[in-house]
Structure 1
């Protein structure tokens, strides 16, 4: 299995204050890797740095062997990276379809959106039924599906997904986790999943890393992390 994402010695933060400290990470292509840890562990900062929203102070990020340092965000999208931030980022005033079309802004073939749009509507039938609805008219689960769908419009190879279960009902969370597994199995999508719902994340992940105070304190296959009682009690809260 080839390696799609490699992170080496990544250090980053805000205003000169480091939050990440020499983070190393490996994610094989076509797998789901869960990033776990308490609030303040550096998980969101990691995704923001990988997606180009934060400039690293040190270290490298390699996507399929290519160094991403200094690459503009729009070029990262064209290279196959998509980021769904915490809070979903749906634009309330725009319709479902208008929000989805924003996902094609940085595609090389922006005019050829009909195929990707149809694919998203097949994945999320409730969005198809509400394509003319404004973002503020959607439920929390539908807004999360819309944010996911918008990222998928660009047909990414690597999806960075930050807290998709936040504030959602358990049934909706289960549907989203099942969808991630389906996308991995059917399309080969690689997912880096930041998630407070540790049990849910490990149920779909192939591997995982545990972060604490901006450092990786454990990395293993998902089953091993779930079965490590000392690790779970110390860092994962169950």
Structure 2
């Protein structure tokens, strides 16, 4: 039996009659960070949306912790332990920081556990604790990214699907976000499937890299190998 937390085999998906992903295969082990890289239009966001249930697959299978997720509703994905932070951060700007975070734990029936999860996020992100009553639109870009991450983490996921966390952020803030992901992995065993245009940042924290081109996996290797192979970087990653 496989030890992988997530197994994707032969995944095909898209919008309407137009497939975007073609026969995609990848795995994520418990506590592993896998970076999904590629040019705009490669299918990276569609991959995460398919894994979280927002886009229905038309072929292949997605197995999480030994369970085939085909046909699973989005809200059930969260209960099973999959958190998704979409591109653009997905913060409800009219709601306060506290209200946004509580949305991530609405499905929890145990109020004590819900409060504990909320407190853990405030401890993880001190700036959010200082801005509990601020509306989302009053936050900086970095704070909004913290809030989006925090809302997903309130659900205590075992796998985090993270789409372009560095988008629009200053390099210093990007570094802080990447360091946080590495720390979460080390402290909690969180597995991360990370879509990121900032290739250097992604490979600096990833264990493995998967490169997509036109919806197909063209390279799958250790992150260190991708970083050190100049020919491969020039061919597929643009640096």
TM-score range, shorter chain: over 0.9
Partners of 1:194 and 1:38 in 2: CA distance: 11
Q: What residue number does 1:196 align with?
A: 197
Q: What residue number does 2:101 align with?
A: 100
Partners of 2:118 and 2:66 in 1: CA distance: 30
Partners of 1:18 and 1:165 in 2: CA distance: 27
Q: What residue number does 2:172 align with?
A: 171
SS at match of 1:70: coil
TM-score, normalised by the number of residues in structure 2: 0.97
User: 1:15 Cα deviation (Å)?
Assistant: 1.3
SS at match of 1:30: coil
User: 1:32 Cα deviation (Å)?
Assistant: 0.3
Q: What residue number does 1:135 align with?
A: 136
Q: What residue number does 1:219 align with?
A: 220
User: 1:30 Cα deviation (Å)?
Assistant: 0.5
Alignment of 1:1-238 (within 5 A): 2-109=3-110, 112-238=113-239
Partners of 2:137 and 2:186 in 1: CA distance: 32
* Structure 2: gaps spanning 5 or more residues: none
Partners of 2:111 and 2:165 in 1: CA distance: 27
Partners of 2:101 and 2:76 in 1: CA distance: 19
User: 1:110 Cα deviation (Å)?
Assistant: 5.2
Q: How many residues align?
A: 238
Instruction: Give the conservation status (yes or no) of the 8 Å contact 1:32–1:204.
Output: yes
SS at match of 2:218: strand
| Segment of structure 1 superposing worse, 102-111 or 65-74 | 102-111
TM-score, normalised by the number of residues in structure 1: 0.98
Instruction: Give the conservation status (yes or no) of the 8 Å contact 2:158–2:190.
Output: yes
- Give the CA RMSD over aligned residues: 1.1
